[in-house]
Amino acid sequence: MNSEWSLDELYKGFDDPKFAADLAKYDEMIAKTNEFAAKISDMQPLDALKTYIAGSESSMQLLTDMYSYAMLRSSVNTKDTEAASISGRLMAKMSATTKAETIIKKFISEIPNLDELIESDPVLKEYEFLLKNIRADQKHTMSDECEEVAALYNISGASAWSDLHSYLTSSVTADFRGEKLTLSSVRNLAYSADPAVRKEAYEAELACYEKIRDSVAFSLNSIKLEVINNARLRGFESPLAQTLYNSRMTRKTLDALMAAMDEHLDIFRRYLRLKGEVLGHKNGIPWYDMFAPMGTNTKKYTVEEAKAYLLKIFRGFDNDLANMVERAFDEAWIDFYPREGKVGGAFCANLDGHNQSRVLTNFDGSFSDIVTLAHELGHAFHNLNIAGHRPLNNDYSMPVAETASTFNENVIMNAAIEAAETDEEKLFLIESQLQDAAQIMCDIYSRYLFETSVFENRENDFMPADRLCELMLDAQRRAYGNGLDPETLHPYMWLCKGHYYSTLSFYNFPYAFGGLFARGLYEKYMQEGAAFVPVYRKLLYATPVCTVEDTAKVAGIDLTDKKFWENSMLSYRHNVDEFERLSKKLNK
């Protein structure tokens, strides 16, 4: 079994004749796209639509293959200057058709009998969702010249402010026990088994923000004002409305989700209080102890053992999922181990048109690494289930993007809890699951509340660092309630979370949506058994060509009904009860 992935499915190298040929073909496609845009107004609509689809399918496959290859090479070797250079060249080539795409999409949106033409052609019918979205998008598209200017100004505007945030947070250091630690290093100490280390690291982290807070506050204010103005220019009533539109999700669904969370957050506040009591705190858990380890699970797994573990559990759910997991291990889809120059974390990249994915992890043999593999292979399974669509129907919105990955986590974690051999191991697993869920519920809710208040304030006021800290603390008090010690909150969460520093606003509620949606689907699986599996796969298949509401209807779920979200929240009560029983039993 290979410990590193193979990219030969794409190219053997940048000197592969196939890569050179594809690059030349892509240049030809760029020229053809620009020529097509120049003459589209003289074409018959049906001919124009067919030409656009055929050309887009070809150029998309070429670009995806080349860019995926360069990106994947860079991710395992950040010093690969050739890959970085190729990525930059491809990005520049992509922008060469921006104006042409705007012209083409405007033409499509103005076809008076578009619906009739879609019904007349089987290929166009497959692209009904895409074409109707192009028509809808036109309401929120500026003139060709304004779009070009907006793209140029973004480079020195929000994008530059975002780069400043990244630079400051990656270069600032925290003073910890005589050492200078990076921000990510000192934050990782929150998982230490030593309570003194956790507390001192928290204090050192808060102190280091003082060095950069004013500059970062300027970044946040500037980005949010640009977002407000951009949303208004595009005809959206608010940045939230723009985000919901881009997420293919209605406000009614969001309101149902948020109402259910708000009403049932006490489930997670209870867990946090209980954990605080076990750790010796009487007024809620301090921020610095939220990630304190509990229970024990010292077992280490080899890659071969991880494979066997995943296959054993997934065979009990769906043979096709298990077979795909086996292929991923056996056919070098996965790059397992950390090494110099390799990026941290984990991700899954779909190889569109190849019925394969590539998964990056930094495997060290812990049980959490098995859960990470299950999560990323869930993305791969999602990708496999949409492979039957045509090439342009391979993109799904962020709220449903975590469905299969989080569903896999539920399958693995619940099986592991059921099979735990000791109370210590069971406590470790249940607490790990609750810790993750509390982040999705309480932390995400606080971030949603904070960003909402930031947009409300930024309409008329500049918010200095002190004001941003106040808004952050207000959001945390409302979300965490009596679960957290009110004297040890985190006023600078607005500074360390990179999601705020993007023109993609509200990069928070989709996580809560994904977590609770997957939990609700898992509960249906527990009730319906094997009969649910084909329904689940149809649901995954629907994600690129449906709104989130229509996707859920495949499984008989109404996302605008608060009851669905409530049931997902309430399903955690048993976990909290078991956490209380085990923690008290083991800490007598």
Tell me what pLDDT residue 521 has.
98
**Exposed / middle / buried, residue 14 (Cβ in 10 Å: 0-12, 13-18, 19+):** middle
Helix/strand/coil for 194: coil
The residue type found at 466 is: D
Q: How far apart are CA 509 and CA 587, in angstroms?
A: 36
Work out the angle between the directed axes of helices 403-419 and 303-315 (0-180°, nearest 10).
Answer: 100
357 phi and psi angles, rounded to 5 deg: -135, 170
Contact 412, 370 (CB under 8 A): yes
- Tokens, residue 582: 């085990």
Tell the residue number behind the tokens 């019904």, with chain if given: 119
Instruction: Please state the length of the chain.
Output: 588
Q: How far is residue 214's CA from residue 44's CA, in Å, rounded to a whole number?
A: 57
Q: How distant, in Å, are the alpha carbons of 399, 429, 432, 525, 569 from that of 250?
A: 12, 35, 32, 26, 21
| Closest to 221 in 3D by CA, of 452, 503, 464, 490 | 464
Type of residue at 367 = F
pLDDT in tens, 82-134: 999 999 899 889 888 988 998 999 999 999 999 999 999 999 999 999 999 99
Residue with tokens 């290093």: 185
Q: 29 falls in which pLDDT band (50, 70, 90)?
A: very high
Which band of pLDDT confidence, cut at 50, 70 and 90, is reported for residue 449? very high
Percentage of the chain surpassing pLDDT 70?
100
Residue 264 carries which DSSP code? Answer: H
> What pLDDT is attached to residue 588?
73
pLDDT tens-digit series, residues 180-193: 999 989 999 999 99
> Closest by alpha carbon to 367, among 308, 306, 417?
306
Average pLDDT on 52-73 reads 97
Q: What is the mean pLDDT of the chain?
A: 95
- In this structure, the number of other CB atoms found within 10 A of the CB of residue 581 comes to 14
At 587, the pLDDT band (50, 70, 90 cuts) reads: confident
Measured distance CA(46)–CA(562) in Å, rounded = 43
- Specify the amino acid at residue 298: T
Domain ranges of the chain: 17-154
Question: Does residue 425 contact residue 297 with C-beta atoms inside 8 Å?
Answer: yes
Instruction: Tell whether the model's pLDDT for residue 148 goes beyond 80.
Output: no
Name the nearest CA neighbour of 128 among 546, 433, 458: 546
Could you tell me the sign of the dihedral formed by the alpha carbons of 312, 313, 317, 323, in that order?
Answer: negative
- Distance in angstroms (rounded) separating the CA atoms of residues 538 and 408: 16
pLDDT band of residue 36 (cuts 50, 70, 90) is: very high
Structure confidence by residue, pLDDT tens digits, 517-527: 999 999 999 99
114 contacts: CB under 8 Å, gap ≥ 6: 45, 108, 131, 132, 135
427 has pLDDT over 90:
yes
The pLDDT score that the predictor gives to residue 198 is 98
Tokens 């309401």, located at residue? 139
Q: What angle do CA 211, 216, 217 make, to 5 degrees?
A: 110
Please give the average per-residue pLDDT across 494-510, as a whole number: 92
Task: Specify the pLDDT at position 41.
Answer: 95
Res 152: pLDDT: 79
Token pair, residue 527, equals 């009730």
Residue 302 corresponds to which tokens in the numbers above?
A: 């080899």
* pTM (2 d.p.): 0.93
Q: What is the pLDDT of residue 144?
A: 75
Percent of the chain past pLDDT 90, that is, above it, reads 88
Q: Give the number of other CB atoms < 10 A from CB of residue 528.
A: 13
pLDDT for residue 140: 94
Is pLDDT at 137 greater than 80 in this prediction? Answer: yes
Beta strands in 55-178 (DSSP E): 173-176
Please name the residue that has the structure tokens 């094997």: 530
Give one DSSP letter per residue of 404-447, joined into a string: HHHHHHHHHHHHHHHH--SHHHHHHHHHHHHHHHHIIIIIHHHH
The residues with which 181 forms a beta bridge, in sequence order, are: 174
Biggest alpha carbon distance in the chain?
Answer: 82
What single string gives the DSSP state of each residue in 278-319? HTT-SSSB-GGGTT---S-------HHHHHHHHHHHHHTT-H
For the cut 80, the answer to whether the pLDDT of residue 355 exceeds it is yes
CA dihedral of 118, 123, 125, 129, whole degrees rounded to 10: -100
Contact in structure between 282 and 587 (CB atoms under 8 Å):
no
Q: How far is CA 393 from CA 45, 90, 271, 548, in A?
A: 21, 22, 42, 15
Would you report the helix, strand and coil content of the chain in percent, each value rounded to 5?
A: 70, 5, 25
Residue with tokens 């009990």: 316
Domain 17-154: assigned CATH number: 1.20.140
Spatial contact of 282 and 577, defined as CB atoms under 8 Å apart: no
Quick one: average pLDDT of 147-175? 88
Q: Rounded CA gap, 260 and 263, in Å?
A: 5
- What is the spatial distance between Cα 519 and Cα 271, in angstroms, rounded to a whole number? 18
Confidence of residue 361 (pLDDT cuts 50, 70, 90): very high
C-alpha closest to that of 368 among 409, 418, 328: 409
The β-bridge partners of 176 are: 179
State mean pLDDT over 438-461: 96
Task: Report the alpha-carbon distance of residue 541 to residue 395 in Å, rounded.
Answer: 11
The predicted model gives 58-84 an average pLDDT of 95
